[in-house]
Structure 1
């Protein structure tokens, strides 16, 4: 089996490589190709990747290359984890929206739109090259904003599934609290990428006992602290929102907070500098502890399970979607980003949602979802409308399309803000936008 990681020079990659090494019975990788245009980062990351494989006795071969076409040729699956413009662009995304009194964040609001505009054309070009070189390959997208990027890939007819680590992180957290194996925890996870709620936490599968009320009653304080939201809010809602919901539920508080401390982009840039120094140490043969602070926790486990299911590898993987079978990771279901296709009746069929799905070589089939509270359905519908407008702006360009997307976003929504933010977005991103 050949897997290719586009953006292989990312500091995330050793997390992924560690998962491939540990879970090789689930996903037997014979060749892992790391593709990246940055030769120095690729040298450092590739060196550590080979040492991780060697230490854990993995027989697979690791190849590094800047040649995308050669890297994806013959691949069974291609994982996308790229950042157009690097941390410098992220720093801008997190800064100029704050000047207008709006959240500055890399995946939502005005900063998230800027990232989408830069990213979608690049990802679609990569996907076309994958299709030419390996027409049967699956594309797994970890590149943010995952919902918009995945929708772009699906609309273009690519074999693609979007992946985020929020759900698996919560699954692991709940399992630790409950003292059970992660595979015993099934999440009633519903929403859009970075706009999700856990409406149930079930032991033993989709029909298992819901222990979410018990978790909130007995551990609500710790859960709320992690989300930086009041415990009383979790108790009133009866759900656990993803931490991205803080941008919506406490917008003004977040803006004040972001204005008083260094940006996350600055923190990550310094972290990446230190990580790359570590990766250059020939004695290092495991992912360093610092990597856990970089983000992307459990990304490797989620990626292995998803790739194994899509490629029919691993014990227990179903041959067809919808048979109630899944990856060899212990659960037949996985939280992914896929077409709505009627799952949530208040959203268009071609919206991309993030829910539990049965995954197999035929793709991802979302499981039925109980009726969604209007409190969440309304916000999902509004953000879905924004994502559709954002994708049109990314595909076709134009100041007016950018303005309409910003006006539709619930974190912006006022025409004066949308006008000003449009000008600043274009000013900061002209080098990445061919039409600007």
Structure 2
């Protein structure tokens, strides 16, 4: 089986060690000859890279490993670029969350004004990765799971329309893993799902048994009505790691579900449909960014330093990021033409009949060596269509603002977000966000 060479863009991410463990676990179906790390923060990347180099040498010494800040070294001779960059790191995520909260508005890294701010930072970073890839490995694919995926996808559609980039998100996959547990199945391939929407903004309208075709929606609806997507394994994991925030998110799905009991919602819809509740239960002085910095970031870096100090991987605290196996699924499908069915973010172009053909929608696709073949969704209900039209207009206005350096377009984007109550509040949030993002955003006029 032909082996691949990959570069992980965002080598200093706290998610990178878990992805490395996951890649090593799946070498039987996605064999590797070379793994590279690329990051513009050499010091941060070195902590993660030193530990991952030890892990790779212990588990699969024949794989060549390189960590670099040089684009030519990183992007030469690669088949796949796996991108999960965070421009501005957690320091800027904290501001994305806290500034809107000052005005009683949802503070979240991908939704509302925070997501818009993050999108304005991410566009240039992802475009830069595409350009490096096309210069040094023009036949490679860029698999992007950098956030906010919706804005990034719209920007790449417009600015690099012919590039080999696929945008993918793990949130629907995490929810589908919970569905599998709810239904009593063993793995995600045991069910076949139909889903439509935008990234972090969608609905399941069909779930069936892969073997028999049995309609599983009635059973899921009954469970979600009472429990949301919360399952026992999540409760146990939260006890182990002391983090209940995701459990509350899974539980709140039952409160979103009731507005349209015919479908099952993506959990991120809570930020749009229950924004008042989210704000009420969020500490404006200690947001999710603070939680991550005090727990995950600290724990991962400490574990990496311990591995480096001992020169040994035994007894480490790092965990395989098994839910991220979707990255292997996608790369394997592209490499070996497997026609795997996956949720991807693609240009609508008639997939959803009664929706903007240029919108970047999240829908099931069959993945081949030539890229995704989206599956037709047909027409969607007025409620979902109305919400999606508002949200896709936000995403397009953000990219307009980035391209044109337009303060006005960005003000319109924030004003149009369902999380924001008025144009007055939108302007206050924008002015505060612009002040702290001048290093990262284009100049606005």
Question: Under a length normalisation based on structure 2, what TM-score does the superposition of the two structures give?
Answer: 0.87
| Corresponding residue for residue 333 of structure 1 | 341
Distance in 2 between residues matched to 1:93 and 1:123, nearest whole Å: 19
Aligned partner (choices 298, 302, 325) of residue 277 of structure 1:
302
Alignment of 1:145-294 (within 5 A): 145-155=148-158, 156=160, 157-180=162-185, 181-204=187-210, 208-218=213-223, 220-223=225-228, 226=247, 227-229=250-252, 231=254, 234=257, 237-259=261-283, 262-271=286-295, 272-282=297-307, 283=310, 285=313
Q: Is the 8 A contact 1:15 1:299 kept in 2?
A: no
Q: What is the distance in 1 between the residues matched to 2:47 and 2:253?
A: 42
Shift of the 3–99 alpha-carbon distance from structure 1 to 2, 3 Å rule, reads: same
Q: C-alpha distance in 2, partners of 1:87/1:230?
A: 27
**Larger displacement relative to structure 2 (131-140 or 232-241):** 232-241
Q: 1-side partners of 2:315 and 2:78: how far apart?
A: 25
**1:393-415 deviations in Å (ceiling 9; x for gaps):** 12222211211111222222522
Aligned residues: 415
CA distance in 2, matches of 1:350, 1:311: 28
Label 1:286 to 1:221 Cα distance change in 2 as closer, same or farther (>3 A). Answer: farther
Q: Which moved more, 1:170-179 or 1:271-280?
A: 170-179
Please say which of residues 81-90 and 359-368 is displaced more in the overlay.
Answer: 359-368
Q: Deviations over 1:230-278 (max 9, x none)?
A: 7465355232211111111211111111136621001111220221011
TM-aligned CA deviation for residue 350 of structure 1:
2.1
Change (3 A) 1:154 1:310: farther
Q: How does 1:7-156 map to 2 (within 5 A)?
A: 7-57=10-60, 59-155=62-158, 156=160
Aligned mates of 1:430, 1:132 — CA distance in 2: 29
Worse-matched range after superposition: 155-164 or 108-117 = 155-164
Structure 2 CA distance for partners of 1:380 and 1:434, relative to 1, 3 Å: closer
- RMSD of aligned C-alpha atoms? 2.2
Is residue 5–residue 33 contact of structure 2 (8 Å, CA) maintained in 1? yes
Q: 1:286 to 1:352 in 2, by over 3 A?
A: farther
- Give the conservation status (yes or no) of the 8 Å contact 1:41–1:276: no
Change (3 A) 1:419 1:291: farther
CA distance, structure 1, for counterparts of residue 362 and residue 169 of structure 2: 9
TM-score normalised by the chain length of structure 1: 0.89
Preserved CA contact (<8 Å) 2:183 2:219:
no
Q: Which moved more, 1:407-416 or 1:195-204?
A: 407-416
| Contact 1:169/1:298, CA 8 A, preserved across alignment | no
For structure 2, list consecutive stretches of 5 or more residues without a partner in the other structure: 231-246
CA offset at residue 72 of structure 1? 0.7
Aligned residue number for residue 375 of structure 1: 383
User: What secondary structure sits across from 1:201 in the alignment?
Assistant: strand
Return the offset for 1:299. 4.8
Range moving further from structure 2, 22-31 or 221-230: 221-230
Q: What do the CA deviations read for 1:413-436 (whole angstroms, capped 9, x no partner)? A: 522122212211211211212414
